[in-house]
Each structure stands twice: as structure tokens, then as C-alpha cells.
Amino acid sequence: MLALKNVYEFTGNNSNDDSLFALIAEGIDKRGYSIMPTALPEALTHSLFTHQQLMEADKFKSAGIGRGKEYLQNEFVRTDAISWITGESQAGQDWLTWVAGLQTYLNRRLFLGLFSFESHFAHYSPGDYYKRHYDAFKGESNRVLSVVVYFNSHWLPSDGGELVLYKSDHDKEGIKVVPLMGTIVTFLSEEFPHQVLAANRDRYSIAGWFRVNTSVTDRVDPPR
Ligand SMILES: O=C(O)CCC(=O)C(=O)O
Ligand SMILES: [Fe+2]
């Protein structure tokens, strides 16, 4: 994947993106999930990482002032701090452009009918976690595909903070994903319970969800 990253440019329809999207699609098709280390294009990774660090200096540090209800809504289930991505920043726009390419590819290849996308930056401070949960419950939500990317260098086993993806309700072991810079995780939202283990250092990421266009809108998705 290294060769892919180095030549990435924001040209919209990029064939390098297509080979990455093809691998993601294959994982989703075969297993329902895909874990791709250091796969997010380097320029995009850098732009998002830099943007998140700048926001840290502003918004995240004055949590509760500028961000209102987005902060610590349900401390029992999750303790991270989030900031929704609206596309107001260049980095946010680049991210949404890349995601739109993924959406188009997955719809063509897997006929998923992905219709809209929402995502937020997340910051887990030392001790933060997100307990085992589903991003969507069968028949109760139109969230169909979860996407997570990470912005952390030099992550050690002692840093904790792994995403653990479980294959079913009965799976106790799961698959651990180290939240390393540029790793992209995608999984079917209704199929995989997952959790974020307590991190021992600051952990930066984006979490996002594709929705299909259904009229099931009267139920709030799982706690955030
Ligand atoms: O950050 C992660 O690894 C996953 C976060 C998550 O599960 C969520 O925000 O729903
Ligand atoms: Fe989740």
C-alpha cells in the first residue's frame, strides 16, 4: 500500500483509490469487514491529522463551551470527545470527497445502496473507552456500514486503546485493531459488536457511518 500512498492526489476519480476501494470491497463482501493498515492516502491522512491537532488546540480543549451536547453524552457507555465533520474545512472536504469515492465504488461493486454519510473526529484521552456496542440494530436503523480511520503514530501494546471487533454476540475474543496512523476499518454496522479498550494515551480517530435511504428515522442510533 505504500506505493499507493505516495502518489495520491486529490483528483477526484483516482485509480489508486480504486485499487484500495477494491480491497475494501473484497473484505466486506467475503467477511463483512475489512482492516487495512496504513491504507488511507498519505496526503489525506496528513491533512486530517493536522486539522484534528489544530482543533485540539481550540475546540476540544474548551469542551462543553463550543461543542455543547456533542460532549460526553453518555459517560457510562463512552467517554471520548467528538466533533462532527461538516466539510467546512479543507481537510473535512478532502475527507468527504474521498468517502464519496468509496461510496460510489461500493455501490457499484456490492450494490449496497449507500445513500448518505456522517462522521466525526474522536479524541480518547487517557482512560477513555467505548464499551461493547453495535453501531446499528437490525431493522431499527438505516446505518449500514461503519468506517473508522486512525491518526496515531508509534502505538505500543502498552498504550491499549485497541478496537476489538467481535464476529457475533457470542464471540468473546474478537479481533484487535491497533489504532495506527492511516489504518482504515470498515464493517457492516448491524453485524459486528465492537468496543474500544481504554487508551493509556491520547487516541485520535474518525468514525463514520453510511446510511441507506429508508424512512426509519424515528429512532436515535445507539448512544454516542
Ligand atoms: O474508534 C474506534 O475504534 C471505534 C469507535 C466506535 O466504535 C464508534 O464511534 O462507534
Ligand atoms: Fe462503534
pLDDT value for 215: 61
Pocket lining: 205 vs ligand 1, CB cutoff 6 Å: yes
Pocket lining: 130 vs ligand 1, CB cutoff 6 Å: yes
pLDDT tens digits along 182-193: 999 999 999 999
pLDDT value for 221: 52
Model-level pTM? Answer: 0.86
pLDDT value for 166: 98
Query: Would you call 201 helix, strand, or coil by DSSP?
Result: coil
pLDDT value for 106: 97
CATH number of 2-6+15-62+75-210: 2.60.120.620
pLDDT value for 65: 36
pLDDT at 101 over 80: yes
DSSP secondary structure of 123-181: EE-TT--EEEE-SS-TTT--EEEEEEEE--SS--GGGB--EEE-SSSS-SS-EEE---T
pLDDT tens digits along 151-198: 999 999 999 999 999 999 999 999 999 999 999 999 999 999 999 999
The ipTM assigned to this model is 0.99
Q: How confident is the model at residue 16 (pLDDT cuts 50, 70, 90)?
A: confident
Task: State mean pLDDT over 125-151.
Answer: 93
Query: Would you call 36 helix, strand, or coil by DSSP?
Result: strand
pLDDT value for 219: 53
For the chain, give the percent of residues with pLDDT over 70: 81
pLDDT value for 141: 78
Please identify, by atom number, the ligand 1 atom nearest to the C-alpha of residue 124.
Answer: 1
Residue nearest to atom 10 of ligand 1 (CA): 135
Domain ranges of the chain: 2-6+15-62+75-210
Please identify, by atom number, the ligand 1 atom nearest to the C-alpha of residue 177.
Answer: 3
